[in-house]
């Protein structure tokens, strides 16, 4: 529990906190969580309201930032912030997050969207926060437009996100010093004289990345995390689109989303494209996992717009044109071939929502296959496979992601009408352990009350599986009926499935399985 008690001078109240939830990474009171509504264009952090209420409540903004989240209440009579025990009637009391943040938001929504809403609330918000909103927007007949006009200026989403990034994220020079062990793990040196020069240059590259060296003489190292597609019409005017449009003439141009970790990258530069399997110490690796490419253009991504630039230094994030034929999803760009590639990206979750997808018109199958290839390149998280039955399976992270993928297929990449099957979500868990010990323990089991226990990696759950020996007649039957098992596993025979049900019933009834099959 977070306890709050006022202390200090009478003019300004200071609050001391005892927080026992410091192990949680994301906490609104820390400033690393925002509440947002992208549809209406607003977002806020607890610190935004803490700064506003600091002068009104006579407390510091730092103290209010902690008190505005969690079971903390404001006693209007004593002008104190207290916990649950300090409130006489907790049933009627409202947490400060509800009283000072949610209720004002609800009042704005009610006054705008409801027909009998009090427009005085909007005027109060506009006056209190000195919002500059044109009168024509406030007089709009569409209440949704009025709501968006007020909320986007009161709590602008872009400003909230940018300010949180500035506060919580370290700058590139500071971040790369502790990221380097994961991005470019240090390799063991070899005494081979032929590889000493390669290792020395690779170590020089690693040190340049660690220091975020932006000198023009430093080796240029860039990591491409994904390829993304933009309509050709969105590219800046005057750009020459040589070899930038995909082979199916879909009107899409693929750009590389890249971060510069060392040196200076410039348009027209010739770089080495290193795959994740590249090893500078092996000659055969230089033939299989290295390509050379000429960069056509560099862009700074300014919202939805692209601003052409001649060069960019280490620490910048840029879009690169000219790599569509060399990179599928991710790769490392280097000005020297004697460099280790960056570690592959590891996603914390895997696509779990799968659907079978096919064109409404069978004649459009070719367009769908081309569209799936484009989608697979444009989205690093999507998975496109072909099932054993020949169905094209699209795997996405969730319903919203799947909806976006299908929309892009219909409108951008395949441009055909599609039929999508109901989604199928597969849940899987893995508990790793030493298999040899488990097998040895299984050999010692004899009764029906023996268990195997394993603990999940986070230590919060214990999975217990009961181990039971199969009846001897059943094991004999399974050994002698391998063809029957093949039919059961493949689902090729209805008779095999019926036989399987018979076996299951005989086990439940403690009946001889062979005799049960003979009866059938």
pLDDT tens per residue across span 306-353: 999 999 999 999 999 989 888 888 899 999 999 999 987 777 677 888
C-alpha–C-alpha distance, residues 164 and 321, integer Å: 30
Contact indicator for 339, 280 with CB cutoff of 8 Å: yes
Beta strands in 213-341 (DSSP E): 221-231, 252-262, 264-266, 270-274, 290-294, 297-302, 305-309, 311-313, 317-321, 331-334
C-alpha–C-alpha distance, residues 205 and 336, integer Å: 9
Is residue 508 predicted with pLDDT exceeding 50? no
In the prediction, which pLDDT does 515 show? 57
In the prediction, which pLDDT does 484 show? 59
Say if pTM beats, i.e. exceeds, 0.85.
Answer: no
Is residue 303 predicted with pLDDT exceeding 80? no
Nearest to 272 by CA among 339, 173, 183: 339
198 versus 91: the higher-pLDDT residue is 198
In the prediction, which pLDDT does 223 show? 94
Mean pLDDT of the region 111-116:
86
Q: Where are the alpha helices (DSSP H) in 37-94?
A: 46-57, 61-67
Instruction: Show the tokens assigned to 509.
Output: 């009834």
123 versus 304: the higher-pLDDT residue is 123
Task: Tell me the CA end-to-end span of the chain in Å, nearest whole number.
Answer: 66
Q: Which helix (H) or strand (E) holds 452?
A: strand 450-455
β-pairing, 252-262 vs 305-309, is unpaired
Mean pLDDT of the region 22-47:
85
In the prediction, which pLDDT does 291 show? 92
Give the model confidence (pLDDT) of 383-409 as tens digits: 888 887 888 999 988 888 899 999 989
Mean pLDDT of the region 432-439:
58
Is residue 15 predicted with pLDDT exceeding 50? no
497 versus 96: the higher-pLDDT residue is 96
For 433, the 3-state DSSP assignment is coil
264 versus 84: the higher-pLDDT residue is 264
439 versus 329: the higher-pLDDT residue is 329
Angle ∠(80,85,90) on CA atoms, nearest 5: 90
For 401, the 3-state DSSP assignment is helix
Is residue 222 predicted with pLDDT exceeding 70? yes
In the prediction, which pLDDT does 388 show? 78
Mean pLDDT of the region 353-377:
90
For the chain, give the percent of residues with pLDDT over 90.
25
In the prediction, which pLDDT does 288 show? 86
In the prediction, which pLDDT does 26 show? 84
In the prediction, which pLDDT does 157 show? 92
Most trustworthy range by pLDDT among 17-31, 51-65, 198-212, 494-508: 198-212
Ranges of each domain in the chain: 3-158, 198-334, 353-425, 435-467, 472-519
Is residue 460 predicted with pLDDT exceeding 90? no
The model's confidence at residue 379, banded by pLDDT at 50, 70 and 90, is confident
The model's confidence at residue 419, banded by pLDDT at 50, 70 and 90, is very high
Instruction: Specify whether domain 353-425 bears CATH 3.20.20.70.
Output: no
Q: CB-based contacts of 309: which residues, under 8 Å, 6+ apart?
A: 267, 298, 299, 300, 318
Is residue 2 predicted with pLDDT exceeding 70? no
In the prediction, which pLDDT does 197 show? 85
109 versus 242: the higher-pLDDT residue is 109
Lowest-pLDDT range of 114-118, 186-190, 497-501: 497-501
Mean pLDDT of the region 272-285:
88
497 versus 453: the higher-pLDDT residue is 453
In the prediction, which pLDDT does 462 show? 82
C-alpha–C-alpha distance, residues 108 and 121, integer Å: 6
In the prediction, which pLDDT does 441 show? 61
Mean pLDDT of the region 100-105:
90
Give the model confidence (pLDDT) of 147-198 as tens digits: 999 899 999 999 999 998 888 888 888 888 888 888 888 776 555 556 778 8
C-alpha–C-alpha distance, residues 79 and 98, integer Å: 17
Q: Which CATH number fits domain 198-334: 3.90.1570.10, 3.40.605.10, 2.40.30.10, 3.40.50.2300?
A: 2.40.30.10
Is residue 247 predicted with pLDDT exceeding 50? no
In the prediction, which pLDDT does 170 show? 86
C-alpha–C-alpha distance, residues 297 and 307, integer Å: 10
Mean pLDDT of the region 47-73:
85
Burial of 45 (0-12, 13-18, 19+ CB in 10 A): buried
Lowest-pLDDT range of 74-78, 155-159, 235-239: 235-239
The model's confidence at residue 23, banded by pLDDT at 50, 70 and 90, is low
In the prediction, which pLDDT does 445 show? 58
453 versus 393: the higher-pLDDT residue is 393
Instruction: Show the tokens assigned to 389.
Output: 């039955």
For the chain, give the percent of residues with pLDDT over 70.
78
The model's confidence at residue 259, banded by pLDDT at 50, 70 and 90, is very high
Q: At the fourth CATH level, which superfamily is domain 3-158?
A: Yeast translation eEF2 (G' domain) (3.90.1430.10)
In the prediction, which pLDDT does 286 show? 82
Mean pLDDT of the region 264-287:
89
Calculate the average pLDDT of the chain: 79
Nearest to 128 by CA among 147, 155, 110: 155
Contact indicator for 451, 465 with CB cutoff of 8 Å: yes
């Amino acid at each position: 529990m977070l306890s709050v008690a006022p202390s200090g001078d009478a003019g300004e109240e200071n609050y001391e906190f005892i927080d026992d939830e410091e192990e949680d990474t994301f906490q609104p009171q820390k400033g690393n969580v925002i509440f947002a509504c992208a549809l209406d264009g607003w977002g806020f952090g607890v610190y935004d309201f803490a700064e506003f209420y600091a002068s009104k409540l006579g407390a510091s903004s730092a103290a209010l930032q902690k008190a505005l989240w969690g079971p903390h209440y404001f006693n209007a009579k004593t002008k104190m912030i207290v916990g649950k025990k300090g409130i006489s009637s907790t049933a009627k009391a409202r947490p400060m997050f509800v009283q000072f943040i949610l209720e004002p938001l609800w009042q704005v929504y009610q006054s705008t969207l409801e027909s009998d809403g009090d427009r005085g609330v909007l005027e109060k918000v506009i006056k209190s926060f000195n919002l500059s909103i044109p009168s024509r927007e406030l007089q709009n007949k569409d209440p949704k437009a009025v709501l968006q006009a007020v909320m986007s200026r009161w709590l602008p989403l872009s400003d909230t996100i940018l300010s949180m990034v500035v506060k919580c994220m370290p700058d590139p020079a500071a971040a790369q010093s502790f990221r380097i062990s994961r991005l470019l793990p240090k390799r063991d040196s070899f005494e081979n004289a032929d590889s000493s020069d390669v290792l020395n240059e690779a170590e020089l590259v690693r040190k340049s990345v660690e220091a975020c060296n932006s000198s023009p003489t430093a080796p240029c190292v860039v990591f491409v995390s994904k390829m993304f597609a933009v309509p050709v019409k969105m590219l800046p005017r005057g750009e020459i689109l040589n070899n930038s449009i995909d082979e199916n003439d879909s009107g899409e141009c693929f750009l590389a989303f890249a971060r510069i970790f060392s040196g200076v990258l410039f348009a027209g530069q010739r770089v080495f494209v290193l795959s994740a399997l590249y090893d500078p110490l092996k000659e055969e690796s230089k033939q299989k996992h290295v390509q050379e490419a000429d960069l056509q253009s560099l862009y700074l991504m300014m919202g939805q717009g692209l601003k052409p630039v001649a060069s960019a230094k280490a620490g910048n994030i840029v879009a690169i044109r000219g790599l569509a034929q060399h990179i599928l999803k991710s790769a490392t760009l280097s000005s020297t071939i004697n460099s280790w590639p960056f570690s592959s990206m590891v996603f914390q979750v895997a696509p779990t929502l799968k659907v079978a997808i096919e064109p409404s018109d069978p004649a459009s199958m070719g367009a769908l296959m081309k569209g799936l290839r484009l989608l697979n390149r444009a989205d690093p998280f999507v998975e496109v496979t072909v099932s054993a039955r020949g169905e094209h399976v699209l795997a996405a992270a969730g319903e919203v992601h799947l909806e976006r993928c299908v929309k892009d297929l219909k409108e951008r990449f395949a441009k055909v009408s599609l039929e999508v099957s109901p989604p199928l979500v597969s849940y899987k868990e893995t508990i790793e352990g030493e298999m040899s010990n488990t097998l040895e323990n299984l050999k010692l089991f004899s009764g029906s009350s023996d268990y195997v226990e394993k603990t999940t990696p986070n230590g919060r759950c214990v999975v217990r599986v009961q181990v039971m020996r199969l009846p001897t007649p059943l094991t004999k039957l399974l050994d002698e009926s391998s063809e029957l098992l093949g039919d059961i596993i493949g689902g090729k025979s209805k008779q095999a499935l019926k036989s399987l049900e018979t076996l299951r019933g005989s086990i439940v009834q403690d009946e001889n399985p062979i005799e049960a099959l003979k009866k059938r």
